[in-house]
């Protein structure tokens, strides 16, 4: 009996010693995360259909998400939206390679076709390297907390993986988004090539574009599209200039077009300009390139919705209408003034329509798109056929007349035609000015874009001119840049002995 009592006392003593430890261990064990309700899980899936925030249903009255509460739809890409954006990225690259290369290549003389193609290819490689190393982060980062440049958190694509960056898209992988935006960065400097075609050294062109990307494109793209951007009126409530630009009227077309004008003036005209005929060597190539640009532009414009949704569908529709009307209008004006409607006129009008509708395609309805197309057919036509001869500048392939004039026109009329009825995002931060004073904000954005592009181009061009020169030798220019810069010819009609 005493032995049993001793054992019981021992057990009681050990229990007393161990219980606090057990209780402490129980207290330290993490609580199981809260499980989402069926309604929350379904709401996450519905957000995919509406391109909405999959975490919205998880938030409490204060907008906070309880620790650990999530659903399978949070932090993952949506297959339909992701698929559309990969397709759009390929379409925008298709605009440059081979679309722009063929469009510009057909418009130059035979001896310079490969130089244009080499410039497009060279820029594709150069800009990709810059984008991977610094560009994407400077545009779409935000660690600098600056309205003018993004941040350093994504340098060398650090952390850019298949999870969405919800600052820009809930359902698109960040690596896909970054590649899509890369294609815009590639084609923008390539547009400048048209103004200085046939007379700028390849090495000087690459050096100019390298500096230009850091001084003009990266800051401007962040100001317009970055989460903390100075001119991102749609998404940045603190934007100083509350402007809108759906797919790049200011970022792409104004910046390249105005820079192209200043660069062609600084370089000077081609040898023989105004004295020697310089017609396009192949309107067939130009027409093929135009068709590729038009098709690729659907990725450019509709893809800028960053989703396969109703906004993308609207941009697809308005892009089609405006482009077709502008192409027809340009050719009709040729017929009225010259009694002939040329293939070059149809092509130029189509590109002008694409340019002018770019900043507004996701913000306007189909009726407005028809007016945009009409204006796009008339205003750039006058710039190319009247203003250029009047002022005498050698904008070889009408980059200024189409992209600068067209981009500026598009940016302005976006402020007039934009309506929240086709894009509810305009109600986020701009509901008090859409349809009222938005056009004034557009004018401010136009002015800033113009000043940045013009002043930067002048400084960069004169620096490079002083260091390595901008032009080839007169002999090299007359021989053709295909041979003088690249040592090859685009066409060999017979074997050379």
How many percent of the chain have pLDDT more than 70?
Answer: 93
Distance, CA of 120 to CA of 101 (rounded, Å): 6
Residue 494: the pLDDT is: 75
Mean pLDDT calculated for residue range 142-150: 97
Distance, CA of 223 to CA of 221 (rounded, Å): 5
The answer to whether the CB of 362 falls within 8 A of the CB of 315 is: yes
Mean pLDDT calculated for residue range 34-40: 90
pTM for the model stands at 0.91
Examine residue 98 and say whether the peptide bond preceding it is cis (omega within 30 degrees of 0): yes
Q: Where are the alpha helices (DSSP H) in 237-280?
A: 255-267
pLDDT at 193 over 90: yes
Residue 116: the pLDDT is: 98
Residue 24: the pLDDT is: 46
Query: Binning pLDDT at 50, 70 and 90, where does residue 154 land?
Result: very high
Distance, CA of 266 to CA of 294 (rounded, Å): 31
Query: Binning pLDDT at 50, 70 and 90, where does residue 4 land?
Result: low
φ, ψ dihedrals at 164, nearest 5°: -65, 145
Smallest CA-to-CA distance from 430 within 418, 417, 447 is with 418
pLDDT at 17 over 50: no
pLDDT at 23 over 60: no
* Bridge partners, residue 173, by sequence: 164
Residue 495: the pLDDT is: 65
Model confidence pLDDT, tens digit, residues 325-368: 999 999 999 999 999 999 999 999 999 999 999 999 999 999 99
Residue 63: the pLDDT is: 87
- The torsion defined by the Cα of 395, 399, 401 and 402, in degrees rounded to 10, comes to 160
Distance, CA of 401 to CA of 286 (rounded, Å): 17
pLDDT at 89 over 90: yes
The answer to whether the CB of 416 falls within 8 A of the CB of 434 is: no
Element (H, E) at 344: helix 343-357
Query: How many Cβ atoms sit within 10 Å of the Cβ of residue 50?
Result: 11
Model confidence pLDDT, tens digit, residues 232-255: 999 999 999 999 999 999 999 999
- Which residues have C-beta within 8 Å of that of residue 421, sequence separation ≥ 6? 365
How many percent of the chain have pLDDT more than 90?
Answer: 87
Distance, CA of 53 to CA of 219 (rounded, Å): 28
Residue 497: the pLDDT is: 52
The answer to whether the CB of 150 falls within 8 A of the CB of 222 is: yes
Distance, CA of 485 to CA of 496 (rounded, Å): 20
Read off the tokens for 412: 């302005």
Residue 29: the pLDDT is: 59
Mean of the per-residue pLDDT values of the chain: 93
Residue 493: the pLDDT is: 85
Element (H, E) at 45: helix 38-49
């Amino acid at each position: 009996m005493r032995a049993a009592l001793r054992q019981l006392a021992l057990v009681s003593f050990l229990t007393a010693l161990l219980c606090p430890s057990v209780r402490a261990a129980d207290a330290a064990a993490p609580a199981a995360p809260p499980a989402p309700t069926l309604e929350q899980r379904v709401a996450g899936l519905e957000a995919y259909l509406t391109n909405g925030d999959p975490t919205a249903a998880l938030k409490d009255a204060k907008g906070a998400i309880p620790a650990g509460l999530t659903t399978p739809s949070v932090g993952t890409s949506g297959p339909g939206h992701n698929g559309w954006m990969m397709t759009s990225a390929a379409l925008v690259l298709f605009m440059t390679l081979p679309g722009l290369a063929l469009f510009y290549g057909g418009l130059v003389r035979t001896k310079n076709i490969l130089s244009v193609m080499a410039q497009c290819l060279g820029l594709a490689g150069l800009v990709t390297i810059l984008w991977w190393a610094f560009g994407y982060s400077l545009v779409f980062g935000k660690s600098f907390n600056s309205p003018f440049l993004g941040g350093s958190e994504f340098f060398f694509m650090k952390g850019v993986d298949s999870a969405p960056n919800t600052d820009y898209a809930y359902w698109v992988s960040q690596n896909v988004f970054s590649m899509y935006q890369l294609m815009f960065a590639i084609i923008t400097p390539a547009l400048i090539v048209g103004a200085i075609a046939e007379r700028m050294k390849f090495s000087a062109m690459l050096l100019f574009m390298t500096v230009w990307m850091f001084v003009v494109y990266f800051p401007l793209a962040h100001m317009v599209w970055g989460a903390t951007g100075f001119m991102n009126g749609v998404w940045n409530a603190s934007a100083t200039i509350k402007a809108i630009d759906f797919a790049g009227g200011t970022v792409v077309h104004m910046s390249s077009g105005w820079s192209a004008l200043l660069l062609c003036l600084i370089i000077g005209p081609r040898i023989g300009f105004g004295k020697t005929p310089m017609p396009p060597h192949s309107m067939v190539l130009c027409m093929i390139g135009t068709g590729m640009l038009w098709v690729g532009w659907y990725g450019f414009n509709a893809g800028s919705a960053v989703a396969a949704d109703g906004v993308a569908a609207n941009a697809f529709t308005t892009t089609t209408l405006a482009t077709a009307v502008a192409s027809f209008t340009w050719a009709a004006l040729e017929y009225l003034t010259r009694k002939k409607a040329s293939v070059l006129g149809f092509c130029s009008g189509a590109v002008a329509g694409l340019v002018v509708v770019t900043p507004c395609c996701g913000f306007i309805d189909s009726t407005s798109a028809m007016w945009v197309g009409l204006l796009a057919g008339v205003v750039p036509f006058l710039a190319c056929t009247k203003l250029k001869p009047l002022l005498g500048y050698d904008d070889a392939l009408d980059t200024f007349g189409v992209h600068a004039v067209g981009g500026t026109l598009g940016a302005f009329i976006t402020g007039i035609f934009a309506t929240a009825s086709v894009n509810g995002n305009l109600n986020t931060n701009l509901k008090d000015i859409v349809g009222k004073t938005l056009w004034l904000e557009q004018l401010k954005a136009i002015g800033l874009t113009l000043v940045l592009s013009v002043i930067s181009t002048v400084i960069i061009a004169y620096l490079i001119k002083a260091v390595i020169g901008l032009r080839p030798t007169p002999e090299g220019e007359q021989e053709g840049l295909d041979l003088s810069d690249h040592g090859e010819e685009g066409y060999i009609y017979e074997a050379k002995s």
